Amino acid sequence: MLLDLDNILKQFIYNPKEPLIFSSGLFVFLFTAFLCGFWLLHKKHKLKIIYTILFSLFFYYKSSGIYFLILIGSTVVDYALANMIWKTKDPCTRKAWLVFSLVINLGMLGYFKYTNFLFEIFADLSASNFEPLHIILPVGVSFFTFQSLSYTIDIYRKEIEPVKHIWDYAFFVSFFPQLVAGPIVRAKDFLPQVAKDPIVTLEMLGRGVFLICIGLFKKAVISDYISVNFVDRIFDNPTLYSGFECLMGVYGYALQIYCDFSGYSDMAIGVALFFGYELCKNFDSPYQSLNITEFWRRWHISLSTWLRDYLYISLGGNRKGKWRTYFNLMLTMLLGGLWHGAGFNYILWGGLHGVALAGHKFYLEQKNAWNRLHVFFNTRGGKVLAWFITFHFVCFCWIYFRASDMNNAADVLGQIAFAFDIRVVPQFVEGYPYIILLLALGYALHLTPTRWEDRVREEITYAPLLTKGFAILVMIILVIQVKSAEVLPFIYFQF
C-alpha cells in the first residue's frame, strides 16, 4: 500500500523524461479531475480564474520543473510594466518602459536559447576550446514570451487597456492548453474572454471532441510512428540509406512535423473549448498551398501573423519602397528562423523562406511583364505545377530544419542527388508497409477538400453523446496499439 502511494506521489513530481503532454494517460486523469472542479466553480469567477492559474502552473512545472518560477516572474514583471506604459503620458518615457519590457523578455529568451550558440561562434572565431554551459531551455519559453510581449506592445500602441487584476493577466499568460507550444494567443483576442464568464455550449463540446480526436490521431498515430520507425533512422545516419529512402525520409518528416505541431494545436484548441474559450486557428492545410506566401498564411498562423504585426510592420512593412520591403521580409524570416533554434541550419531555413517570399512578391509585381506566365499558373495544369514546386521547396527547407547540423543536411542532400537508387523500391515497400500506409493516409487526409473535413466535423459535433464517447474510445484504443514505449514530446516543445 505504501509502495503504491509512493508511486502515485511520484506522478506529481517533475520528471524530465516524462513531461506532461496531452497524449499521456496521466494528463487524461488530471484533466478530467480539473474539469470537474472548474465546472463546480462556474458561478464563482475569481475562484475559477485562480483555480485554473494554479493548475496551469502545475502543468508547466510537470513540463519544465523549477522553471515555472520564470513564468511567474515574467507575469509579474510584464503586468507591472504594462501598467507603467499605460499610466505614463510622456512619449519618451512610455517608449523607455516598452524598451525595458523588450529587453527583459528578449534578454531572458536570448540567455536560455542563444548563450551557448554565441559562445560557440566566438570560440570558433578565436580558435579556442569551448565547453557548453549547462543551460536547460524551459519548455515553451518562446511561446509565452511572444504572448506576453503582445500585451505590452498592444498597450503601448493603445490598442487595448491593461487588465485591472493581475490574476486576469496571469490567466492569459499561463492558460495551460496553449502554454507550451501555442497557438500564440494575442492579448486583444483572449483577454475579453477572460473578463466574462465563459459559456460552454453543446456545439463547443462537440467541436472539442472532434479536435482532440483528430489531434491525437495526428500526433500519437501518424507522427510518433513514422518518427520512431523511419524518419529518425534516416536523419541519424543518412549515408546508410539510398537517395530514394532519404527522399522518403524528407517526405516523412514533412508529414511528421505537420501532424505533430498541428495535432498539438488541435488538441489545445479542443481542450480550451471544454472551458468555453476560443483559441485561434493555427493551421489550414498548408501543403495545399500554391505559392510560398500562401504557405505562410496557412502554416503556424499565430506565429506568422505575430511576426507580421509586431516585427515586419514595425520595420516599415511595404511602406518604404520596394527594396526595403524585400529587406524587411528577409530580416523577418531570418529572425523567425533564429526564433526556432540556435543554429545556422535554422537561420538558413529562415533565410531560404525569406528569399522565396521576396521572390514571389517580385514576381507578383511583374504581372504585366510576365502576363503569359500568370495566365499559365491560373490554369489547372499551372496550379498543379505551382503546388508541386511549392511543396518540394518547403520539403527542401525542412531538411535544414530537421538536420542536427549543416553536415547532416549535406549528407541527406548528397544521398538524394548522387545515390538515388530506384532499385531499392521493392525492398522499401516490403520493409516499410505500415510507414507507406501512414504516409499515404496522412497526405491523403491533408489534401482532402476542406468541405469534406467540415462535413465530418459537423457530423461529430452534433452527434449524440454516446457516439462522441465511442469516437473517443476508438481513438484511445488506436493510440494504445501504436504507442511507442517512451514518451515522445511534441517537436515544438524545444522552441
- pLDDT tens profile 248-271: 999 999 999 999 889 889 989 988
Alpha-carbon span 329 to 327, nearest angstrom:
5
* CA proximity to 462, closest of 199, 207, 200: 207
For residue 361, being part of any structural domain is answered with no
- R_g of the chain computed on alpha carbons: 24
Site of grid cell 501518424: 222
For residue 325, being part of any structural domain is answered with no
Helix residue ranges, H only, 65-90: 68-87
For residue 342, being part of any structural domain is answered with no
Task: Give me the active site residues, please.
Answer: 340
- Could you tell me the pLDDT band of residue 201, with boundaries at 50, 70 and 90? confident
Residue 19 Cα distances to 7, 165, 357, 422, 477, angstroms: 16, 31, 37, 41, 22
Looking at residue 487, its amino acid is V
Indicate whether 181 and 236 sit together in one domain. Answer: no
Alpha-carbon span 436 to 454, nearest angstrom:
26
Four-residue CA torsion sign, 120, 73, 347, 404 = positive
Its pTM stands at 0.88
Indicate whether 144 and 262 sit together in one domain. Answer: no
> Which DSSP letter does residue 493 get?
G
Indicate whether 82 and 186 sit together in one domain. Answer: yes
Q: Are 235 and 402 in contact (CB under 8 A)?
A: yes
Which of 152, 170, 197 finishes a domain?
197
* Domain limits for position 38: 16-197
- Could you tell me the pLDDT band of residue 1, with boundaries at 50, 70 and 90? very low
Helices 406-418 and 344-365: angle between axes, nearest 10 degrees: 60
- Could you tell me the pLDDT band of residue 480, with boundaries at 50, 70 and 90? low
> Which DSSP letter does residue 238 get?
G
pLDDT value for 489: 59
| Summary mean pLDDT of the chain | 85
- Could you tell me the pLDDT band of residue 490, with boundaries at 50, 70 and 90? low
pLDDT value for 152: 92
pLDDT value for 6: 65
For residue 161, being part of any structural domain is answered with yes
The answer on pLDDT for 487 being more than 60 is no
- Would you give the end-to-end CA distance of the chain in angstroms? 41
For residue 162, being part of any structural domain is answered with yes
pLDDT value for 274: 87
With 0-12 CB in 10 A as exposed, 13-18 as middle and 19+ as buried, what is 150?
buried
Indicate whether 434 and 459 sit together in one domain. Answer: yes
Highest-confidence segment of 24-28, 429-433, 473-477:
429-433
pLDDT value for 10: 67
Percent of the chain with pLDDT over 70: 91
Comparing 118-122, 331-335, 401-405, 445-449, which segment has the lowest mean pLDDT?
Answer: 118-122
Q: Are 21 and 216 in contact (CB under 8 A)?
A: no
* CB neighbours of residue 4 within 10 Å: 8
The answer on pLDDT for 111 being more than 60 is yes
pLDDT value for 483: 64
CA atoms within 13 A on the CB side of 146: 26
User: Residue 191: CB partners within 8 Å, gap ≥ 6?
Assistant: 151, 160, 163, 168, 169, 172
Indicate whether 193 and 211 sit together in one domain. Answer: no
User: Residue 125: CB partners within 8 Å, gap ≥ 6?
Assistant: none
Indicate whether 246 and 393 sit together in one domain. Answer: yes
Give the cell for residue 106.
528578449
Of 66 and 11, which is predicted with more confidence?
66
Which of 197, 225, 249 finishes a domain?
197
> Which DSSP letter does residue 309 get?
I
Indicate whether 192 and 50 sit together in one domain. Answer: yes
Indicate whether 229 and 175 sit together in one domain. Answer: no
For residue 313, being part of any structural domain is answered with no
Give the cell for residue 345.
541550419
Indicate whether 28 and 133 sit together in one domain. Answer: yes
Q: Are 73 and 87 in contact (CB under 8 A)?
A: no
Which of 169, 197, 225 finishes a domain?
197
HEC profile for 371-425? HHHHHHCCCHHHHHHHHHHHHHHHHHHHHHHHCCCHHHHHHHHHHHHHCCCHHHH
To the nearest 5 percent, what fractions of the chain are helix, strand and coil? 75, 0, 25
Alpha-carbon span 47 to 240, nearest angstrom:
58
Q: Are 19 and 62 in contact (CB under 8 A)?
A: yes
- Could you tell me the pLDDT band of residue 484, with boundaries at 50, 70 and 90? low
State pLDDT tens for residues 153-199.
999 988 888 988 899 999 998 888 887 776 888 888 888 888 888 88
State pLDDT tens for residues 15-49.
666 677 766 667 777 888 888 888 888 778 888 88
For residue 408, being part of any structural domain is answered with yes
The answer on pLDDT for 3 being more than 60 is no
Indicate whether 404 and 430 sit together in one domain. Answer: yes
Alpha-carbon span 205 to 270, nearest angstrom:
8
- Could you tell me the pLDDT band of residue 207, with boundaries at 50, 70 and 90? confident
At CA 243, angle to CA 240 and CA 247, rounded to 5?
110
Alpha-carbon span 78 to 193, nearest angstrom:
20
Alpha-carbon span 292 to 356, nearest angstrom:
7
Indicate whether 393 and 283 sit together in one domain. Answer: yes
The number of distinct structural domains making up the chain is: 2
For residue 362, being part of any structural domain is answered with no
Q: Are 175 and 194 in contact (CB under 8 A)?
A: no
CA atoms within 13 A on the CB side of 158: 6
Give the cell for residue 381.
495544369
Of 20 and 134, which is predicted with more confidence?
134
Give the pLDDT mean for 464-475. Answer: 74
Alpha-carbon span 9 to 26, nearest angstrom:
12
pLDDT value for 405: 87
Q: Are 216 and 267 in contact (CB under 8 A)?
A: yes
With 0-12 CB in 10 A as exposed, 13-18 as middle and 19+ as buried, what is 266?
buried
State pLDDT tens for residues 357-414.
998 888 888 766 677 777 877 888 889 999 999 999 999 999 999 998 889 999 999 9
User: Residue 32: CB partners within 8 Å, gap ≥ 6?
Assistant: none
Alpha-carbon span 228 to 248, nearest angstrom:
14
pLDDT value for 492: 57
Site of grid cell 527594396: 323
Is there a cis peptide before residue 433, judged by omega within 30 degrees of 0?
no
Indicate whether 284 and 397 sit together in one domain. Answer: yes
